[in-house]
Amino acid sequence: MTIHTSPDRITIFSPFDATLGRGAAQRRGALAPCVALIGCDGSGKSTLARDLTALLGREGPTRSMYLGLGTGDLGRRIGRIPLVGALAERFLTGKADKAHAAPDKRLPGLATALAMFGFSLARRRRFERVLAFRRRGIRVVTDRYPQAELAGGFDGPGLAWTRRGSALVERLAARERQLYEDMAAYRPTLVIRLNIDVETALGRKSDHTRAPLERKLAVMPTLKFGGAHIVDVDATRPYPEVLATVLALIQVEAPAA
């Protein structure tokens, strides 16, 4: 990635610009199925992605891919560093909370915005790998999926394009929005929405706090993923039941190419 800045403009050049978005309509028809697992933290996405990939691999080539940002896990790993970890984690969490605040807040400063944009570029690189698998006829199961409907987290752009900020950061937010619109243009074949309640989420993710989980639970049902086929699954049930249910759905709705 190359970044050129001036007082009134910011331009980001990425080697992926030439492949993502250009000719998308022509390529989509040749893609193998993609199944996106979405849901609040603690809903079982990662475990399901791993187990489903192993089971579906018996029927045809199948790969799994994580399409989240990983910033929450990164912060918690930093928090476990002796002496300085807790302070560093609080700093990062505070930055993230400010960046994802209500729409009437300003965009973050350039340094924070560049860091957030960097995470989005890393996500797009993983998304490119998903597309590469699908073009080769390999079915993909993803843990999360990027959306362009809502900014400020929730697997959407980190920088809310509706907020005001410096000219450079506003341009960066607009550029990030385009990244997500390009990714979201590739609708998954099937979206499995894993539904749980906040108490279940806290029981499974004891290192999380209630408020962010409640926000995710409130937002998740509103996301449409570009009109993709979405099926709701009760993920509070015993895991073997959830796994069997999702496996049967995929075999019917997104069979191997």
Q: Higher model confidence: residue 114 or residue 8?
A: 114
> Taking 50 as the threshold, does the pLDDT of residue 24 lie above it?
no
The region, left, alpha or beta by phi > 0 then psi within -120 to 50, assigned to residue 204 is alpha
Q: Does 229 fall in a domain?
A: yes
Q: Does 136 fall in a domain?
A: yes
Q: Is the Cα dihedral 227, 69, 50, 202 positive or negative?
A: negative
Instruction: Print the domain residue range for 103.
Output: 34-67+74-254
Instruction: Give me the CATH number covering residue 187.
Output: 3.40.50.300
Q: Determine the average pLDDT of the residues in 61-80.
A: 68
Cβ atoms of residues 36 and 113 within 8 Å: no
Q: Determine the average pLDDT of the residues in 129-136.
A: 98
Q: Does 188 fall in a domain?
A: yes
Q: Does 146 fall in a domain?
A: yes
Cβ atoms of residues 143 and 49 within 8 Å: yes
Q: Does 112 fall in a domain?
A: yes
Cβ atoms of residues 36 and 192 within 8 Å: yes
Listed range (28-42, 44-58, 59-73, 181-195) with the worst mean pLDDT? 59-73
> Taking 50 as the threshold, does the pLDDT of residue 51 lie above it?
yes
**pLDDT tens across 187-228, in order?**
999 999 999 999 999 999 998 999 999 999 999 999 999 999
> Taking 80 as the threshold, does the pLDDT of residue 34 lie above it?
yes
**pLDDT tens across 166-184, in order?**
999 999 999 999 999 999 9
Contacts 24+ apart (CB under 8 A), 177-183: 177/148, 177/151, 178/21, 179/120, 179/121, 179/124, 180/120, 180/146, 180/147, 180/148, 180/156, 181/148, 182/20, 182/21, 182/24, 182/124, 183/20, 183/123, 183/124, 183/127, 183/146, 183/148
* Confidence at residue 97, expressed as pLDDT on a 0 to 100 scale: 52
CA 195 – CA 84 distance, rounded (Å) = 36
* Confidence at residue 243, expressed as pLDDT on a 0 to 100 scale: 98
Q: Higher model confidence: residue 175 or residue 161?
A: 175
Q: Higher model confidence: residue 143 or residue 84?
A: 143
* Confidence at residue 75, expressed as pLDDT on a 0 to 100 scale: 43
Among 243, 251, 253, which Cα is nearest to 52's?
243
* Confidence at residue 203, expressed as pLDDT on a 0 to 100 scale: 96
* Confidence at residue 89, expressed as pLDDT on a 0 to 100 scale: 44
> Taking 70 as the threshold, does the pLDDT of residue 90 lie above it?
no
Percentage of residues in the chain having pLDDT higher than 70 = 75
**Could you give the number of structural domains in the chain?**
1
Q: Higher model confidence: residue 180 or residue 26?
A: 180
Cβ atoms of residues 176 and 159 within 8 Å: yes
Q: Does 125 fall in a domain?
A: yes
Which residue spans within the chain are E strands per DSSP?
Answer: 2-6, 9-13, 34-39, 62-66, 139-143, 190-195, 230-234
